[in-house]
Chains A and B, each alone.
Chain A
Amino acid sequence: MENPVMLAAGILGTTGASLKRAARSGAGCVVTKSVGPEPRDGHKGPVVVEVEGGLLNAMGLPNPSYRNFQEEIDFAKKGGSPVVASIFGSNPEEFSTVAEGLDADGFELNLSCPHAERYGAEIGCEACNVEEITRAVKKSVGAGVPVWVKLTPNVADITSLGQAAERGGADAVVAINTLRAMAIDVESGRPILGNRFGGLSGPAIKPIAVKCVFDLASAIEIPVIGVGGISTWEDALEMIMAGAEGVQVGTALTGGYGVFASITEGISSYLERKRITLSEVRGIARRFS
């Protein structure tokens, strides 16, 4: 992938049109909204709340199911960037069914959504599940199709999940998904999100993501894709210096589609000014271990 700045899963990824627009705006790769075995409407609102340092969301994995999603992927491809399908299920069989039912440039396994019963982090917090599901999907889609595993930070040691993904045959891991969090309405004492709790994203979680990427890059051989709170080219470089092969941008899209161009242009001028290449910068922080 020439351009390492991608659109993260769950952001503007419901329709082929919005994915195409992200690609045309400079995303080097786009990841779809997570697609599962059956249609889901998602949680009742509020599904997103702005909080200090970011956003809290509990969308609840709304999706039209893999049966109704291929046309979105096909349309998204017109944007000219690879289209990775984010998929979820509650067990290896469901994951395989969804993967086999879609034709995409790659798959990202959502083993990390923190707010949907039976899915995401509920199963992805156990290393054995991560390994088994990764192996099952890898077997289903064949060696030629990249399979990435998106990991949850809501565990004591994320590297054990990364190692499990690697053992299962993953081509890369993506870190991190949102952190479990909550906001309460002081007028009523009621949690604001319809689901009561959700996942925190945005600038507040960036230092956590940087540390997770740093640790994962040291613990596994397969590439790590960094995500969590990236809004500027400096943020992206920080993640790459921690060892990330590429980065994904999500919450920063609240500032518009221009974020992709501003990050890639910022990185290019930096590399020019320092007269170095991206691969020379990658993982540079680990020299100071």
Chain B
Amino acid sequence: MKPINAVIERVREETPTVRTFFFDPALDPVPGQYLMVWVRGADEIPMSFSYPNGITVQRVGDATEALFSLGEGDSIGIRGPLGNGFSLIGDSILLIGGGLGGAPLSLLGEVAKDQGIDVTALVGYRCCEDVLFKERFEKMGELVITTDDGSLGTCGRTSAGLSCLDLEDFDQIYLCGPEPMMWDVIQKCKGFEEKIQASINRYMKCGMGICGSCCLDPDGFRVCIEGPVIKADRLLESEFGRYRRGPSGSKEHYGR
């Protein structure tokens, strides 16, 4: 489909560098699906849904900078929902998010809660100023917060919060955040990889599985249409956590 026009109805400042943009029309995404957002004159970028009619964006580059210059009444082009989202499994689930990774997880948690599923969330932030969607997570059930600097909740990386939880209690675990954080969590959840669904980030350009820029080594998994949600046991057999590819296709290694 061509990008459809969506009007920004409201912009909510979440943190000094993060805003949620609510647009009309709302779409009907499965949590974990994404949409391509065309900021006219700048670029087209993939964004997870944080609401059926909302995306939560961190100002990180030219395209997001251009998006931040838009306000109520301005419009963007959108196409989606795209990709495979999370699938809800079992009666009790755990959400593990790092920073902005909480965006698709908060939508997932709300949908799960509506279906009567018990939801527990573990969310990590750099500091208390970065805390995002705290009230949304609190409404779903138990919430464990970590901050790198200890300014709120448990001090340490997101995985530090795992000590407050018994992974046996959960039928399925849903993970989203920066890649080193996700890698760290997966390493600390040894034996539970098969029940972890992770939403991962790769350089997505076409969003229709043909340009090849988001393919994972070594089996050519097309993140833009077969993902962005993928099971952790499969991730462990891939490039994930070691390197990703930049816009030219060259490998960018994580210093690990």
Contacts and interface: CB of A to CB of B under 8 A. Distances in A.
Interface in A8-23: 10-22
A194 B248 contact: no
B248 A62 contact: yes
B165 interface: no
A172 interface: no
A117 interface: no
A42 B246 CA distance: 11
Contacts of B222: 12, 18
A41 B248 contact: yes
Given A15-B245, A64-B248, A59 B205 contact: yes
Interface stretch (B104-112, B189-197, B208-216): B208-216
Given A15-B245, A41-B247, A46 B219 contact: no
Contacts of A46: 3, 36, 38, 44, 77
B37 to A, nearest CB: 10
B43 A253 contact: no
B210 A254 contact: yes
Interface stretch (A80-88, A121-129, A183-191, A264-272): A183-191
Contacts of A45: 36, 38, 43-45, 205
A33 interface: yes
Interface in A35-76: 39-42, 44-51, 55, 57, 59, 62-65, 68, 75
A199 B89 CA distance: 43
Contacts of B218: 17, 75
Contact of A64 (B45, B75, B250): B250
B209 A254 contact: yes
Interface in A248-289: 250-251, 253-254, 256
Nearest to A41: B247
Interface residues of B, number: 37
A44 B43 contact: yes
B206 A47 contact: yes
B249 A15 contact: yes
A151 to B, nearest CB: 22
B220 A15 contact: yes
B40 A190 contact: yes
B205 A194 contact: no
B215 A62 contact: no
Given A42-B205, A64-B250, A14 B75 contact: no
B34 to A, nearest CB: 14
A13 B212 CA distance: 6
A14 B214 CA distance: 9
Given A15-B212, A17-B218, A45-B38, A185 B250 contact: no
Contact of A18 (B1, B220, B246): B220
A75 B41 CA distance: 38
Interface string B18-48: 0000000000000000001010111111000
B138 interface: no
Given A59-B205, A62-B247, 15 more contacts: A10-B211, A12-B215, A14-B211, A15-B220, A17-B215, A18-B222, A42-B247, A44-B42, A45-B205, A46-B44, A68-B250, A75-B218, A185-B2, A185-B3, A194-B43
22 contacts: A12-B209, A14-B212, A16-B217, A17-B215, A17-B220, A19-B220, A20-B220, A21-B219, A42-B205, A44-B43, A46-B44, A47-B205, A48-B205, A48-B207, A62-B205, A62-B247, A63-B249, A65-B248, A65-B250, A187-B5, A187-B75, A188-B40
Interface of B: 1-3, 5, 36, 38, 40-45, 75, 77, 205-213, 215-220, 222, 245-251
Interface of A: 10-22, 33, 39-42, 44-51, 55, 57, 59, 62-65, 68, 75, 183, 185, 187-188, 190, 192, 194, 250-251, 253-254, 256
